[in-house]
Structure 1
Amino acid sequence: MTSSSTTHDARELLWKPSDSLRDANRRKIIRAVMVEPNTQVNIARFTGLSQATVSGLVNELVGENVLRVDSGGDNERGKKLRVGAVRGVAVGIEVNHNGLTVAARRVDTSSVEYETANFGAEQGDNAWVRESARLIRDLATKTGLDAEHVVSIGLGIPAAIDPRTGMVTQVASSLDWDLSGNPRHRFSDHFPHVPVIVDNEANLAAYGEYVYGAGRSVESMYFIKASTSIGSGLITNGAIYRGRHGLAGEIGHVTMDPQGTVCRCGNRGCLDTIVGGNRLVEQVRQAYTGYRVDLPTSLEGMIERAKRGDQVCTRILQDASRDIGLALARVANLLNPDIMVLGGELGRAADLLVGPATNEMQLFSLRGMYDHAAPTKLVGSELGLLAGAQGALAFALRVDSTVAV
């Protein structure tokens, strides 16, 4: 048996090649606890393993000090398991049009370090990769370890990713990216051998909210990310639904007005053209033309003004929320999720927006979703603008690196 004083290397625990089913099951359990401390019952549900298998392997892992048991709980299976003496850093990255966020967490703690940079996707993929790598090194040091201990990197980008190949099938229409190759290979010079798990940034924000935020303990959750553009992600029974080509959930390109403004995707009247961040800021500036010079230049500034009582900003945001509510009513009629979560920049104004959007949802979706004790509901994000990076971190930990590399 391993000595209780031994500190394990997370890379060794998760990366060591093995064809053994037992080793694969051990990794599943370790990964589940690294994502979030939990009980044996929930770990069995999360991993798909039997209670007996989980119980036997947990006893081994606790004996080796890879896992430890909390003192609370009525019985052994009801006590939470946490990571024991294991050294490693998990990383998550969210890339947006106008910035990126990197999160890093030691696998044996719940404390997450974050850094953001106003350095977005429009500056080219090589540039944001270099900036991401720099922030990863800085944050790894802040955790008390260093870049040599990075065990996984989750990467959310404004693009559709084919779930079968990991290749980009389509980037946001405003970006001029090289679509050749797999995005994870762009990190190989900076972090050789570290598995990089790539997905759409709204999907990973949805996953973060599902694991750590407003979507905890539900079977299905629909997340709408409303910022510069409008994206979304659907989680069902712990899995991200992506569709055949990774394009599921593109609510920003649902047609709201067939005769409306031409969208950058080439269609007309998309939700993006009505409630995208730039469009909302433009409406405020138009309303104040000739009357004020201190006009907002960003969605963040517009939200701050609304919270201070600016009637124009408040009205435009609430009008936008009604358009979002109409779009969500269509989603609700198709998917009937347990909960819908408003995130992204507009999620910061949830106190102003959720009410009008909910009214619109209830007006245009089926009554059966609301006429009982557990209605479908719309709530604001709990993780805010950190949902994407935190979801990327968790999702990359979940994926077996012996398969992903």
Structure 2
Amino acid sequence: MAIKSGTQADIAHRTLLSQATVSAAVRELATAGLISTAKDRGKVCLSPLHDVGVGVHLGFNHTTVVARRLDKEFDQVTSQVRSEGVSRGWQRALPDVKQMIEEAIEGTGQQRSHVLSLGIAVPRMINPQTAEFTLPILPPWREGDDPAGDLGSWLGVRALIDNDANLGALAEQTYSTREHAETVVYVKASTGIGAGIIVHNNVLRGHGGMAGEMGHLTVDPDGAVCQCGGRGCLETVIGADALIAQVRAARARNGAPPPETLEQVIVSANAHDAVCMRVIHDAGRRLGHSLAQLCNLLNPDLVVIGGQLAQSQLLLEGCNESLRRFALPGAVAASSKFVLGLSELGTQAEAQGALVLGLRGHEHSGGT
């Protein structure tokens, strides 16, 4: 069951299925001994299982693995996090990722043979028709890299892969405590900028998997060249490299030590460093300007900010400023029930979404 446990009414609300359909499914699963219903609150729970679901987020500068026994709540995961990602190349990262998966599985009290499903999140475009990287294949990935194939064959399961912002959106809609939203936009703001969009419980991927590539919207036609080959992309303005460069340029005038990572910029901003506070707040304003255009186009119920930059409230404040200025009032007004907030799942959102993706793929493939 990919959604968190709850009452039958909760399940109907989240899946958009009728109460009658959910009730019939619950009776069938209960008869098969797969679920139980708590008599005191009518809560539907999975019966004890040994099966384990695994979700992996292969970031540029970090890797996150979550593993969960499938009869446990979504937040009862064991996790492994390392501040090294695939920036060194996939083949060099692969042994460490395998070790992290092993340790996360062991944390559930189960063995590798109990893994039922595997989902993988990557900060790159994935063609939904082929499950391969969409051209152009951007560094650090290379032609021939196949993380789903490598990890799936090693675990002996069918692994599924998708863009990490898409999976952040999937996790937020599946597990968020907020009221169920019809249209959800999840923005991952870290090394790069990406957006995942869900409409009516369906991830909007586009025919080539390029939907939501917000980081490659042109915001300055004469700006810096982006790694995608474009010029003046949003990512060149508020991506990690751009923000670090801004802080370094300002500190060069006062002799303060320059930051090496985005995390250092965020920590300094949260500690009230004037330069870092300004850089993060301005990044929020630039992000909010692009989000305003997205809100005018899609009119979402919920926009969630995730990724490293979500660790600073200043980013959200800057976003709100620009949304109020540039979005149509009816699209973002409180009276319209529009919500802009930070991710409730924090830095685990993409890995949690990958775990859900793996489970859904297992269901749809009939367990093969």
- TM class by smaller structure: over 0.9
Instruction: Indicate the larger mover: 391-400 or 145-154.
Output: 391-400
Q: Which residue of structure 2 lines up, in the alignment, with residue 392 of structure 1?
A: 354
**TM-score when normalising by structure 1:** 0.84
In 2 relative to 1, CA 172–297 (structure 1 residues): closer, same or farther, beyond 3 Å? farther
Deviation at 1:46, TM superposition (A): 5.5
Is this contact kept in 2: 1:197–1:396, CA < 8 A? Answer: yes
Q: Which amino acid aligns with 2:197?
A: L
Which stretch shifts more, 275-284 or 50-59?
A: 50-59
Question: Residue 44 of structure 1 contacts residue 51 of structure 1 at CA under 8 Å; is this kept in 2?
Answer: yes
- Secondary structure in 2 aligned to 1:304? helix
Unmatched runs of 5 consecutive residues or more in structure 1: 1-30, 74-78
State the superposition RMSD in angstroms.
2.2
Q: Once the 2 structures are TM-superposed, how far is the Cα of residue 191 of structure 1 from its aligned partner? A: 1.0
The CA deviation at 1:222 is 0.7
Q: How do residues 14-25 of structure 1 correspond to structure 2 at under 5 angstroms?
A: none
SS in 2 for 1:373: helix
Q: Secondary structure at the match of 1:234?
A: strand
Structure 1 stretch displaced more, 368-377 or 140-149? 368-377
1:268 paired residue among 218, 225, 231: 231
Q: Is 2:6 the counterpart of 1:38?
A: yes
More divergent stretch after superposition (233-242 vs 365-374): 365-374
Aligned twin of 1:71: 39
- Alpha-carbon separation, structure 2, partners of 1:87 and 1:171: 41
Letter in structure 2 aligned against 1:246: G
Q: 1:155 and 1:371, CA in 2 relative to 1: closer, same or farther beyond 3 A? A: closer
Aligned 8 A contact 1:214 1:381 in 2: no
CA distance in structure 2 between the partners assigned to 1:335 and 1:179 by the alignment? 36
Residue in structure 2 matched with residue 376 of structure 1 by the alignment: 338
Query: Which residue among 197, 204, 209 is the counterpart of 2:167?
Result: 204
Moved more, 228-237 or 392-401: 392-401
Aligned letter for 1:118?
A: S
Alpha-carbon displacement from aligned partner over 1:159-203 (angstroms, at most 9, x marks no partner): 2112122222136633241247x64222244112x1211101111
Q: Which residue of 1 aligns with 2:55?
A: 92
Distance between the aligned counterparts of 1:162 and 1:403, measured in 2? 22
Aligned to 1:314: 277
Deviations 1:118-172 (A, max 9, x none): 3312222233333222211111111111111011001011221121222221366
The offset of 1:50, in angstroms, is: 5.5
Does residue 359 of the first structure (1) align with residue 324 of the second (2)?
Answer: no
Amino acid in the other structure paired with 1:255 = T
Give distance in 1, aligned partners of 2:329 and 2:321.
12
- Contact 2:152/2:158 (8 A) holds in 1: no
1:305-348 deviations in whole A, cap 9, x for unaligned? 11111001001111111100101011111111001111111100
Question: Would the aligned equivalents of 1:329 and 1:364 in 2 still touch at CA under 8 Å?
Answer: yes
Identity of aligned residues (%): 36
Structure 2 residue 23 is matched with structure 1 residue 58:
no
1:112 aligns with 2:80: no
| Aligned residues of 1:62 and 1:68 also touching (Cα < 8 A) | yes
Q: How does 1:194-343 map to 2 (within 5 A)?
A: 194-213=157-176, 217-343=180-306
Work out the CA distance in 1 between the residues paired with 2:236 and 2:282: 14
Going from structure 1 to structure 2, the CA distance change for 1:270 and 1:207 (only over 3 Å counts) comes to: same
What is the match of residue 142 of structure 2?
177
Query: In 2 relative to 1, CA 376–56 (structure 1 residues): closer, same or farther, beyond 3 Å?
Result: closer
- Given residue 161 of structure 1, which amino acid in structure 2 is its aligned partner? I
Instruction: For 1:213 and 1:269, locate their aligned partners in 2 and report how far apart those are by CA, in whole Å.
Output: 34
